[in-house]
Each structure stands twice: as C-alpha cells, then as structure tokens.
C-alpha cells in the first residue's frame, strides 16, 4: 500500500514538474527570412536583435529592392531590409513586440508592417554611435489592398 502511494506521488510530482517545465518554455516562433545588402551594419544589428529575441533568421545578402517588389511592399515605405515571417512582410526596423503582436493577432487582409526609412533609436539603429538619441517614428500596418495606417507610434 505504501509502495503504491509512493509510486503515485512520484508519478504526480514527475508529471507536475514536466508540465511546469513545458509552461516555462517560450512559444516557438516561425523563422524570419531577411533580404539585405551584405555591407549594411544596421541590417546586421536588426538581425542580431531578432536572434536575441528568440527568432531564427535566414539572411539573403543580395539587397532588398527585388524582394520588396516581389512581396508587394510599396516602394514609398521602403527601408534598408525586407523580411517575411509566417506569410507577413516586415519592412525596415520594426520592433519585435510589433512582430509578435502581428503574429498573435493574425489579421486578415494585412500584408505586413513597415518602418519606412531608418529612424534613429529603432531596433538596429540604436547602437552607441547614436549617443542614445531616439527619434519618434510610426510602425505602419500595410493592407494587401495598399491601404496604410499607424499600427503603433513610438515616442
């Protein structure tokens, strides 16, 4: 009888510990594919930022103009790198929290997110060389039909 109780307690403890360990494991994110110029330092920094935040990144050092065009991101929203993640297009220095929100929300009719240009203080444009400067910028939501609105303002 005591052996059965001990075995039951051990099994319960083991199952509980296993469930706890599983709950502490972060959700696996889909890989990010990035097109950038091989000599772009801020693109390299943005890729490193994504990797630190748990994303697996595949990099194509071939420039991004053709990829941006092929993926349907309007040229007026262009930046120095273009990426895809789970069917969405990410243009420029988009923060990870916005990418995660997009992937969690999974909005229909949305092409992706864009941070046009290269705003100082955005991820990848925030190195020591900028002396802590942080310019305000908008993360834009781009619809498949071409409409654009502000997804989040960073101030």
Per-residue H/E/C for 101-112: HHHHHCCCCEEE
142 contacts 148 by C-beta, under 8 angstroms: yes
Among 129, 112, 113, 100, smallest CA distance to 42 is for 129
Query: pLDDT class for 29, splitting at 50, 70, 90?
Result: confident
pLDDT at residue 139 tops 60:
yes
98 contacts 113 by C-beta, under 8 angstroms: yes
Q: What is the pTM of this model?
A: 0.83
| pLDDT tens, position by position, 113-131 | 999 999 999 999 999 999 9
55 contacts 83 by C-beta, under 8 angstroms: no
Predicted pLDDT of residue 110: 99
Predicted pLDDT of residue 119: 99
Rounded Cα gap, residues 73 and 115, in angstroms: 11
Predicted pLDDT of residue 46: 99
């Amino acid at each position: 009888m005591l052996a059965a109780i001990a075995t039951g307690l051990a099994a319960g403890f083991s199952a509980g510990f296993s469930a706890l360990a599983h709950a502490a494991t972060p959700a696996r994110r889909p890989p990010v594919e990035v097109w950038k110029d091989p000599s772009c330092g801020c693109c390299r920094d943005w890729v490193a930022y994504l990797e630190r935040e748990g994303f697996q990144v595949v990099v194509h050092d071939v420039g991004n103009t053709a990829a941006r065009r092929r993926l349907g991101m309007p040229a007026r929203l262009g930046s120095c790198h273009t990426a895809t993640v789970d069917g969405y297009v990410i243009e420029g220095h988009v923060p990870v929290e916005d990418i995660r929100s997009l992937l969690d929300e999974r909005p229909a009719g949305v092409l992706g997110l864009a941070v046009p240009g290269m705003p100082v203080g955005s991820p990848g444009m925030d190195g020591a060389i900028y002396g802590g400067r942080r310019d305000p910028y908008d993360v834009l939501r781009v619809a498949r039909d071409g409409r654009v609105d502000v997804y989040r303002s960073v101030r």
